[in-house]
Chain A
Amino acid sequence: MYQYDLIDKEFLADRSAEFRGQVARRLSGELTEDQFKPLRLMNGLYLQLHAYMLRVAIPYGSLNSTQARRLAQIARDFDKGYGHFTTRQNIQFNWIKLKDAPEILDKLAEVDLHAIQTSGNCIRNTTSDPYAGATAEEVDDPRVWSEVIRQWSTLHPEFSFLPRKFKIAITASAKDRTAAKVHDIGLMLRQGRDGTLGFEVIVGGGQGRTPYVGPTIKQFLPTDRLLSYLEAVLRVYNRHGRRDNIYKARIKILVAALGAEEFARQVDEEWAKIDAARADLPTAELARIRAAFAKTPFETLPARSDAFETAKANDAAFARFVRNNVKPHKQPGYSIVEVSLKAQEQTPGDASAQQLEVVADLAERFSLNDLRVTHAQNLVLPHVKLDDLPTVFATLQASGLATPNIDLVSDIIACPGLDYCALANARAIPVAQDIARQFADLDRAEKVGELKIKISGCINACGHHHVAHIGILGVDKKGEEFYQLSLGGSGAEDASIGKILGPALPADKVATAVDQLVGAYLNVRNDGERFLDTYRRVGLEPFKEAVYAQAD
């Protein structure tokens, strides 16, 4: 894993000292709220419904066990004992006091964590594949490039006051676990015919009130030109993005207005003017960063583990966990383990301090000190030996962390919604809990198969509802919470934006409607078809019928 050097550490300590001064000046009245708000947002501190909320960056969703334990300690000492993992692989604490924030930043800085680039109109923390360095699918380790972007973009002077926030995702596998096509920039690393690596560059995807699947503006960008090309994209955006209208300020609006071809042309024109020697990353620096990720100390193991096979044959619960939560690893004898934060009655994406500590211990003992966060609000132990799986499973199970439902109907993404968020129209969490309850029967959930339900409490779409197989959006209908359902979205490599099913439903009808949708799917699905495939084949009608026909 990448280690921060002295410069990084000093920088974080300085940053936290600076914020301490700013908070003191705000409390004494030297700074007004209008002056202070952008400063606190630059440190990830929002004011929400009940308290301040601190969003801590988890660069490319990767943590070591010391960091995970520190997050647990912060949850316990400064919050009410839990944290919420987000769809951008960060963690949010819901009950923070302004007066404690500088001390929290100090404690984060001690373990190389911070809240920089988690808010504001800058280049945000980069999202990447939680299976990076572990999956055989990848053509390169995307963490290398995520780290390059982190170093380049952190407090980048030219790009700290963009027209609007700017989010980048990187994947190096054909199977996309980052929602790259709905980011401001999605980078998909590919191998060219000659064996060299390049990025497919997708620009202008996004969610929020105007969702777009981003178009590709460059099929194959040689990796050594990444930074100059990003600079060119950001320059065009910085110059022409709509600063006059917050709803039109994202790059997706600019790309849509100009057309992908014209936008690409302007980027190329800008790119040609950039001095590559200045802008691109020196080979030696790339090699240094790459080396940090190359040193994963895998053991040489047989591909088959008797302990694992025996446990699987004798323990049905373990076998189910393996079917749903354990994924193949590139290294013989190892596996990738998904830790679901979607148990029955759990708030999707929430982890208690105790759970964080359990997972931190498991990461340290059984996963080469490596822990990942997924954009589906779950955790991943990326490098677990097959031999150790029964022990890891038992430990997870004892802490309510072994729910075998990854990508199944109860693995629901939900934003904080009206339970916490100042921008919300409706709650998201209780709706997720209702649906999960409806599908508590794991046999049934497995029979239904992959089904991605995602819920947002307002049109900002933090819960990714536009790109859900079944998307649920909270709306305010004359002061009552209502929910608009949409079908057929996907945030993966086959990205698409969902279509609205029909009139919004009251809260107590949503879980039933999802049940009806699933029923309709089971009636017409062909062998091997996921919900999404069936929808794409048969369209909206049979589903509409199922939900609205019986309604009065």
Chain B
Amino acid sequence: MKAVVANRLIDGEVVFWKSGQWVERFGDAELFDAEAPVEHAVSVGKGQPTVVVDVYPIDLVQSDGRWAPLSYRERIRALGPTNEPTHGKQAEGGDVIEALRHAAGAARSTGRVDLIRRK
């Protein structure tokens, strides 16, 4: 399973692709089980340079019966910093946030799917 992430240009907020929109909660993100729609979302995102920057797909794993980013880095992006549990997206709490907190999984490099290719 995959999702597509980016930072919103105007404020840097981490955002997730959802059927043509960029949403702030990982819980609202569109989850993909095929390659073609992932590539489509990434290419649409890259074509919106005044809306988002740094668009890329991430790998997901299952946690507490939900999907969560595979890599630690992407989980921290979906939650906020672990040293300030009330800062960032995690502040609102809830099941999705808990599932993200409990997730574990060994990512190749950073779980950023195209990291190697990009460099």
Chain A residues close to B by CB (< 8 Å)? 26-29, 32-33, 47-52, 80, 94-99, 347, 418-420, 424, 426-427, 429-430, 433, 476, 478-481
User: Which of B25-33, B46-54, B92-100 touches A?
Assistant: B46-54
A379 to chain B, nearest CB (A): 20
Q: Contacts A98-B9, A478-B106, A479-B71 given: A47-B49 contact, CB under 8 Å? A: no
B45 to chain A, nearest CB (A): 12
Q: Pick the contact of A420 from B49, B53, B72, B81 — CB < 8 Å? A: B81
Q: Is B84 an interface residue (CB 8 A)?
A: yes
How far apart sit A520 and B76, CA to CA, in the bound complex (Å)?
36
Extra contacts, 7 of them, besides A51-B12, A347-B84 (Cβ < 8 A), are A32-B49, A49-B73, A98-B12, A99-B10, A419-B76, A419-B83, A479-B109
Q: Is B108 an interface residue (CB 8 A)?
A: yes
How far apart sit A97 and B13, CA to CA, in the bound complex (Å)?
8
Chain A residues contacting B81 (CB-CB under 8 Å) are 49-50, 94, 419-420, 429
Q: Contacts A97-B12, A98-B9 given: A28-B50 contact, CB under 8 Å? A: yes
A414 to chain B, nearest CB (A): 10
* Structural contact, A98 and B83, CB atoms closer than 8 A: no
How far apart sit A52 and B9, CA to CA, in the bound complex (Å)?
9
Q: Pick the contact of B106 from A429, A433, A480 — CB < 8 Å? A: A480
Would you list which residues of chain B between 95 and 115 have a CB under 8 Å from chain A?
A: 105-111
Mark interface residues in B77-95 (1 if CB within 8 Å of A CB, else 0).
Answer: 1001111100110000000
How far apart sit A413 and B76, CA to CA, in the bound complex (Å)?
22
Chain B interface, >50% SS class: loop
Mark interface residues in B34-78 (1 if CB within 8 Å of A CB, else 0).
Answer: 000000000000000110011000000000000000111100110
Chain A interface, >50% SS class: mixed
How far apart sit A407 and B110, CA to CA, in the bound complex (Å)?
35
Chain A residues contacting B84 (CB-CB under 8 Å) are 80, 347, 419
| Most chain A CB neighbours (cut-off 10 Å) among B70, B87, B105, B107 | B87
A356 to chain B, nearest CB (A): 17
Q: Pick the contact of B82 from A26, A52, A98, A427 — CB < 8 Å? A: A427
Name the residue of chain A whose CB is nearest to the CB of B87: A80
Name the residue of chain A whose CB is nearest to the CB of B52: A33
Name the residue of chain A whose CB is nearest to the CB of B108: A479
A388 to chain B, nearest CB (A): 34
- Give 7 nearest A-B pairs by CB, closest first: A479-B107, A97-B11, A419-B81, A51-B12, A479-B106, A52-B12, A429-B83
How far apart sit A439 and B90, CA to CA, in the bound complex (Å)?
30
16 pairs, CB–CB < 8 Å, chain A vs chain B: A27-B10, A28-B50, A32-B49, A33-B9, A49-B73, A49-B81, A50-B13, A80-B87, A98-B11, A99-B10, A418-B73, A476-B109, A479-B107, A479-B108, A479-B111, A480-B106
